[in-house]
Amino acid sequence: MGAMTEADPLPDIDWSAQGIETELGWALPVTYRAFSQVATAAVADVPGGPRGYQVLVAITTESPSSQLALAHRLGIDKTQMTYVIDGLEAGGFVERRPDARDRRVRQVHPTDAGRALLSTAREGLRDAECVLLRHLAGDEQTQLRRLLARVALGAGDIEAAADGAPPTPALPAAAPERSRRPSRD
């Protein structure tokens, strides 16, 4: 809706010939960004966005956990975790309960509101996936999931090899959240 409307989704470049190089280098980022966008929108109501959502998932589907354990599990810095939990607690979605045996640690428990929020966000994410894969037949979707899962499984080694083996992430990291200004260029 900006000043220039001549931006067709797929420019008239002949990618296949020797274009931007291999198709994967194009398709993967595009797909990821689209998913990242809808997924972030789906968890927009969760304080802390994708990371807040990850925390809710972790303490709900597993058991309540200390902040440091959560940070390690989700691959988030412990200082970041403080902010995320702050937001969740301010919204009344989690509680910090001091551990009786070690009063340094604070266990993070989900509240009823937190569980409800998680449930809603989950649905939104499922819908987001459906939108993303809407052009694929049912069996094709299954096929894609399976193949991608296998690649991701092997990909873990790559990440691990590079730096100090960060734990497995689960959502689009952070999703920079493009500015919502009029975007006139």
Partner DNA sequence: TATTGTTATACTCTATAACTATA
Partner DNA sequence: TATAGTTATAGAGTATAACAATA
Residues in contact with DNA by CB under 7 A are: 66-69, 77-83, 85-86, 96, 102-107, 173-174, 176-179, 181, 183
SS (H, E, C) the chain: CCCCCCCCCCCCCCHHHHCCCCHHHHHHHHHHHHHHHHHHHHCCCCCCHHHHHHHHHHHHHCCCEEHHHHHHHHCCCHHHHHHHHHHHHHCCCEEEEECCCCCCCEEEEECHHHHHHHHHHHHHHHHHHHHHCCCCCHHHHHHHHHHHHHHHHHHHHHHHHHCCCCCCCCCCCCCCCCCCCCCCC
Question: What is the Cα Rg of the chain in Å?
Answer: 20
Q: Which of 48, 54, 87, 102 binds its own copies (CB under 8 A)?
A: 54
| Of residues 75 and 141, the one with the C-beta less far from DNA | 75
Among 109, 136, 138, 177, binds its own copies (CB under 8 A): 136
* Nearest-approach distance from CB 167 to DNA, in angstroms: 13
Chain center to CA of 116: 19
Q: Which does 27 bind (CB under 5 to 8 A by kind): DNA, its own copies, none?
A: its own copies
Taking the least distance from each CB to its own copies, the nearer of 23 and 90 is: 23
The reply to whether 73 sits near its own copies by the rule CB under 8 A is: yes
Site for its own copies in 76-135 (CB under 8 A): 77-78, 122, 125-126, 129, 131-135
Distance of closest approach, residue 6 Cβ to DNA, in angstroms: 12
Q: Identify residues 7-46 at the interface with its own copies (CB under 8 A).
A: 7-11, 13, 17-39
Single-letter amino acid code for the residue at 151: V
Least distance CB 132 / its own copies (angstroms): 6
103 binds, among DNA, its own copies, none (CB under 5 to 8 A by kind): DNA
Tokens matching residue 99: 């551990």
104 binds, among DNA, its own copies, none (CB under 5 to 8 A by kind): DNA
